[in-house]
Amino acid sequence: MTVFRFIALVCFCLSFSCKVWAAGVQVQVNPATVSVGDDFTLTFSADQALAITPDFSPLDQDFQVTGSSTSTNLQYINGQMAQQTAWRISLFAKQAGNLQIPKIHFGQLSSEPTTIQVVEGAVDLNGKPNTDILVELSADPPQPYVQQQVIVTQRLLHVVPLLPTRASMSHPELEKGKGLIQQLGNTKSGVVNRNGVRYQMIERRYAVFPQVSGELTLGRTVFQGALDDRRSRQLDPFGISGQQVRRFSAPLVITVQPQPQIKSTWLPANSLTLNAHWEPANKTLKAGEPVTLTIAMIAEGLMAEQLPALDIKPPMGIKGYANQPEFRNDLGGNSVIGMREEKWVLMGTADGNYVLPEISVDWWDLKAKKMQTARIEPTALIVTGVGQSQPSTDPNSAAKANPEPGAANSLLTPSEERMPSSQAPNTGRLTKLWLLAILAALVLISLAGLGIRLLKRKSKDREASRFASHSIAPLQALKQACQSNDAHAAFQALQAWIREDLHLSPATIATLRTHADLPLKQALDDLSTVLYASTTHVWEGQELWQAVQNYQPQPLTDSSSSSQQGLGLAELYPS
């Protein structure tokens, strides 16, 4: 009896385990080998009815889900009803390799982990490489110095026709390391030969400025589009037909070298020049009268915000001060050209001949691979006219003057001394009339300013309601970055705000600057100066946050472009 009981117990356990296996969730991968970006299907099936919503979020680590569906089948086999529930998931892989499809829970049941082979390039139905559509990223130079300009070229190559209205490709974004990206010029098109194959080419160029040495990685850029099938297009007047295609570039890894051991300011450029302009041009100064010296520092391969302030030391006898510098960046060519313009006001205080010392800037010549110096030669200046007394501009000087006639006459200029005494009363009356006119003008200006302020307040209230419809996340991140005085975090939040709320493309500070008002431009210039500076600077974000709050963006006229920009994609074919 003991033997029969043991056999019965074993049979019971085996039958129980078979039921558990049969009641499990099976997973099927179709196809078994795919390329990065190509859609494939996962089918999860259970031999029973399950009214649950599974959590497929574990797939998000290596895959992106594009769609899902659920179906339930009922069948009668040999007089018994059999039920089956199936979940079909459409998704694509984000990277190459043997990727694991993790365990997915379906209530008390779960699927077993499995793997799928993902190759770097596209493959056809036979598993062979498909080179009909290619996306490439390349860097020049591949091993730059820190803060050196790197030209990143993004290309889409295709031999199959694409629908222009449905073709879009994302801009490169930093995945690892610290750097700044600016798009150069517009999208270009052309033809290129690769391995004997003639490709249609669409090309974008970007300037990347690494901020630290080490590895700088640009993530994959994605192309999304549809094949242009003329037969399908004839049957589809709305232009939504065509086979969907998606292609990814490989990540781009740039090895950034530390700057060489030099004593001067680190300015890696292809060229750097200094230009001076005097106004007036004769460089002869009259005492007490200002002249303007404009100096433009122009560098190829550097942003204007990377260029340092000039060190100008006027000699004794000449006073000088600088206005706020102006920054300009030309992004329309094959390289960034930055210009920093400084205006200096100089004024002579004593007669004599003076020499304004040499003005120089040291920079690293990337072509010659050595230090160079841009110079403005010493400038000879002549100051005259100190012996002539100037009319006083101090309104309190009349009260301080001696009331006696002799003392009063000593304060007159030569033209006043020659004036007949009979004109003095007329001059006094004219002065009173001028004072009354000025007072009336000031009153009118004050009233006008009050009216403008009230109008601005109403405009801000209306703008606040429009701002409320924008995404809160980018502005909240920008506010936190400004409050914590984190320049790099503010830069990232600005890009998100430009892309998600303002819908500007490309989402860069340079693009926003072309639409910004004066306070926002100044705040952006201050932020860029800190980001591009070769030495560490303390940045205070209150000014930027205030400028962003007061900024009133112009409404976009093209609503169709905003949806693609929200997906991080930019149209390839300009309309």
Q: Which residues contact 386 (CB under 8 A, 6 or more apart)?
A: 287, 348, 349, 350, 351
pLDDT tens per residue across span 140-171: 999 999 999 999 999 999 999 998 888 889 99
pLDDT value of residue 195: 87
Domain 133-256 has CATH 4.10.240: no
Average pLDDT over residues 490-495: 86
- Asked if residue 554 has pLDDT above 80, the reply is no
Three-state DSSP state, 171: coil
First to last CA, the chain: 89
- Going by C-alpha positions, the residue among 286, 252, 265 that lies closest to residue 171 is 252
Pick the range with the lowest mean pLDDT from 238-247, 314-323, 385-394: 385-394
Q: Could you count the other beta carbons within 10 Å of the beta carbon of residue 477?
A: 17
Name the pairing type of β-strands 179-194 and 326-330. Answer: unpaired
CB of 105 within 8 A of CB of 44? no
CA–CA separation, 232 vs 245, rounded Å?
16
Three-state DSSP state, 530: helix
Burial 218-233 (b: 16+ CB within 10 A, else e): bbbbbbbbbbbbeeee
pLDDT value of residue 199: 95
The pTM is what?
0.62
Average pLDDT over residues 406-424: 35
pLDDT band at 461 (very low <50, low <70, confident <90, very high): very low
* CA dihedral (527, 531, 535, 541) positive or negative: positive
| Amino acid (one-letter) located at 501 | D
Pick the range with the lowest mean pLDDT from 160-169, 338-347, 407-416, 497-506: 407-416
CA–CA separation, 522 vs 61, rounded Å?
41
One fold for both 133-256 and 268-384? yes
Q: Could you count the other beta carbons within 10 Å of the beta carbon of residue 250?
A: 15
CATH of domain 268-384: 2.60.40
CA–CA separation, 482 vs 148, rounded Å?
27
CA–CA separation, 247 vs 130, rounded Å?
11
DSSP character string of 495-515 = HHHIIIII--SS-SHHHHHHH
Average pLDDT over residues 82-94: 87
- Asked if residue 468 has pLDDT above 50, the reply is no
Average pLDDT over residues 89-97: 88
CB of 33 within 8 A of CB of 93? no
| Amino acid (one-letter) located at 468 | A
Average pLDDT over residues 173-199: 92
Domain positions in the chain are 23-119, 133-256, 268-384, 472-571
- Asked if residue 433 has pLDDT above 90, the reply is no
CA–CA separation, 104 vs 95, rounded Å?
21
Can you say how many angstroms the Cα of residue 553 is from the centroid of all Cα atoms in its chain?
17
Say what percent of the chain tops pLDDT 70.
Answer: 71
pLDDT band at 557 (very low <50, low <70, confident <90, very high): very low
- Starting from the edge strand earliest in sequence, which strands make up the sheet with 569-571, in order? 244-248, 222-226, 168-170, 569-571
CATH of domain 23-119: 2.60.40.740
Q: Which residues contact 515 (CB under 8 A, 6 or more apart)?
A: 502, 504, 553, 554
Q: Could you count the other beta carbons within 10 Å of the beta carbon of residue 57?
A: 10
Q: Which two tokens stand for residue 420?
A: 């007949």
